[in-house]
Amino acid sequence: MGILEILTQLLHYSPALVPILLVIYLMIHWKRIKPFIREFKTFLMQYMYNLCYIRKINSAMQSAFYACKHEEPLLRAFKYVIPLQLRIESDAKDVEIRLETGRVLGIIPSKSMSQIVKAIDAHFADNISQFSVVNDFSKLERALELVCLELVMRNCKIDGGLAIAASRFINKARENEEINLMFSILSDLNGKLKQTGSIQDRRLLRILIVETCRGEFDAIGKMFV
Amino acid sequence: MRLGRCLCEFIKFLKQIDTKNRGHNINPTFRCDGLDMSIVLIGRSETINSYGCEPYVSYIQGAAKEGIKIFYILAMGRVNCWVADEVVGHVCTEQIVKKTDGYSDEIAYKGRKLRISCIRLENLSSSYDPFAKYVDTY
């Protein structure tokens, strides 16, 4: 009778022996198993941490998008303001936006703040912006995206790191003189509209945005695009 | 900012149009610090049925002579948008104004999908010349 057969017979008559045998096996080979157990534990901890972190970010972003849609008048320039849900996929090479039924998914390779900001910007540029009232003016459209990104980040009260990453990203985009000028104008406009009450008709909002920016560009002798 | 001083007034003017009820007349012209603008709302079916696009064309002609530099034509609904295009075609052919840009979309209104349009026209006699201010220097 082989050892396997003896074990099978033993387990058949007494299943309680399984954990005991397992413990004995682990005790004998503990030195060899220890590194695998440690690796598995790290992987599990990392996975759980990422899952909790991304859940926290997603819920904060969802409420930020919702708050912006209802409280920031400039967000009315977009026909649809759909929140973005993030997911970490370590094998992803770059930020990727996937349209799925009922949601928009942002795939990021790591949970770094700059990746999160990049994903939200890509969501604005790829999806939301095509329904903006100024999508025939390329630079104005870009400036509007950046202002709205800043508004979302401001309403996403999560932590300082995200705010710093967003501000770094926006400052880099504002190195373009025209975009910088439009960004300032649009931020001012949003503030003024908050004081006076928002404009419901999106055509009138377009008139306000376009004429204000065009006026400024005319005054300094620049081409409005 | 050119509109700096007038920005609040401009927002008030636009809000007035935004909250305007049917049949309520408001001054469609805004003049402040070099911005002379008029908003032409195409919407009264009785005007369109009786006179077509003629009243809108003659309004733009008259306002352009009075120095209005920018016109915005706003229309909602398939027929009104068609009239808006007719008006634009008419005034552009007469070379009173030129079309600079436009925006059109569909909105849901009382369970129906409605086309909306917003067309910007610029008075040809007051086209912006960024180098005009340097002409007198030489």
Q: What is the CATH number of the domain that holds B86?
A: 3.30.110.20
Is it the case that residue A215 has pLDDT exceeding 60?
yes
Residue B103 lies in a domain: yes
Predicted pLDDT at A163: 87
* Chain A contact for B109 (CB, 8 A cutoff): no
Q: Residues 9 to 48 of B: which have CB under 8 A from any A CB?
A: 10-12, 14-15, 17-18, 34-35, 37, 39
- Give, for A7, the enclosing helix (H) or strand (E): helix A3-13
Q: Which residue has the higher pLDDT, A99 or B134?
A: A99
Residue B99 lies in a domain: yes
Query: Which two tokens mark A115?
Result: 């990746």
The predicted-structure confidence for A4-19, as pLDDT tens digits, reads as follows 888 788 778 887 888 8
pLDDT tier for residue A1 given thresholds of 50, 70 and 90: low
Q: Residues 79 to 98 of B: which have CB under 8 A from any A CB?
A: none
Residue B71 lies in a domain: yes
SS3 content of chain B, % helix, strand, coil (to 5): 40, 30, 30
Is it the case that residue B131 has pLDDT exceeding 60?
no
pTM of the entire predicted model: 0.82
Average pLDDT over residues B39-46: 86
Say how many C-beta atoms besides its own lie within 10 A of residue A215's C-beta: 21
Residue B81 lies in a domain: yes
Residue B114 lies in a domain: yes
Predicted pLDDT at B52: 81
Is it the case that residue A73 has pLDDT exceeding 90?
yes
- Give, for A85, the enclosing helix (H) or strand (E): strand A84-88
A209 interaction partners in chain B (CB closer than 8 Å)? none
CB pairs under 8 A between A and B: 74
Predicted pLDDT at B134: 56
pLDDT, chain A, mean: 89
Is it the case that residue A209 has pLDDT exceeding 70?
yes
Query: Which two tokens mark A96?
Result: 């990727």
| Gap between the Cα atoms of A216 and B3, Å rounded | 7
Asked if B68 contacts B34 with a C-beta cutoff of 8 angstroms, the reply is no
Considering only the beta carbons, identify the residue of B7, B18, B130 that sits closest to A204. B18
A200 interaction partners in chain B (CB closer than 8 Å)? 18
Q: In degrees, to the nearest 5, what angle opens at C-alpha B36 toward C-alphas B35 and B39?
A: 115
Average pLDDT over residues B52-70: 90
Q: Which domain holds residue B35?
A: 27-127
Contact flag B17-A201 (C-beta cutoff 8 Å)? yes
Q: Which residues, 6 or more positions from A165, have their beta carbon under 8 angstroms from its beta carbon?
A: A112, A113, A114, A116, A117
SS3 state at A116: helix
Residue A66, amino acid: Y
Residue B104 lies in a domain: yes
The predicted-structure confidence for A133-172, as pLDDT tens digits, reads as follows 998 899 999 999 999 999 999 888 777 888 899 999 999 9
Q: Which residue has the higher pLDDT, B52 or B59?
A: B59
Nearest CA in chain B to A80: B107
Contact flag A210-B120 (C-beta cutoff 8 Å)? yes
Q: Which residues, 6 or more positions from B40, have their beta carbon under 8 angstroms from its beta carbon?
A: B28, B56, B59, B60, B71, B72, B73, B74, B87
Is it the case that residue B1 has pLDDT exceeding 60?
no
Residue B132 lies in a domain: no
Closest CA to B35 of B123, B130, B107: B123
Contact flag B70-A211 (C-beta cutoff 8 Å)? yes
The predicted-structure confidence for A84-112, as pLDDT tens digits, reads as follows 999 988 888 889 999 888 889 999 998 88
Q: How far is CA A120 from the centre of its chain?
A: 5
Query: Which two tokens mark B88?
Result: 């634009």
Contact flag A201-B37 (C-beta cutoff 8 Å)? no
Look at the block and give the residue holding tokens 């926006």: A170
- Give, for B102, the enclosing helix (H) or strand (E): strand B97-109
Considering only the beta carbons, identify the residue of A206, A211, A221 that sits closest to B103. A206
Considering only the beta carbons, identify the residue of A133, A192, A202 that sits closest to B11. A192
Is it the case that residue B40 has pLDDT exceeding 90?
yes
Asked if A74 contacts A186 with a C-beta cutoff of 8 angstroms, the reply is yes
Residues B43-54: b if buried by 16+ CB within 10 A, e if exposed: eeeeebeeeebe
CA distance A97 to chain B (A): 25
Q: Which residues, 6 or more positions from B133, have their beta carbon under 8 angstroms from its beta carbon?
A: none
List residues bridging with B116 in a β-sheet: B76, B105
Q: How many domains does chain B have?
A: 1
The pair phi, psi for residue A75, each rounded to 5°, is -65, -15
Query: Which two tokens mark B131?
Result: 């180098």
Predicted pLDDT at A25: 86
Predicted pLDDT at A202: 92
CA distance B136 to chain A (A): 17
Whole-number percent of chain A with pLDDT over 90:
49
Is it the case that residue B129 has pLDDT exceeding 90?
no
Predicted pLDDT at B58: 92
Look at the block and give the residue holding tokens 């759980």: A48
Predicted pLDDT at B135: 53
Predicted pLDDT at A10: 78
SS3 state at B68: coil
Asked if A174 contacts A183 with a C-beta cutoff of 8 angstroms, the reply is yes
Residue A31, amino acid: K
Q: Which residue has the higher pLDDT, B134 or A77?
A: A77
B14 interaction partners in chain A (CB closer than 8 Å)? 199, 204, 207-208
Q: Which residues, 6 or more positions from B109, have their beta carbon under 8 angstroms from its beta carbon?
A: B76
Residue B137 lies in a domain: no
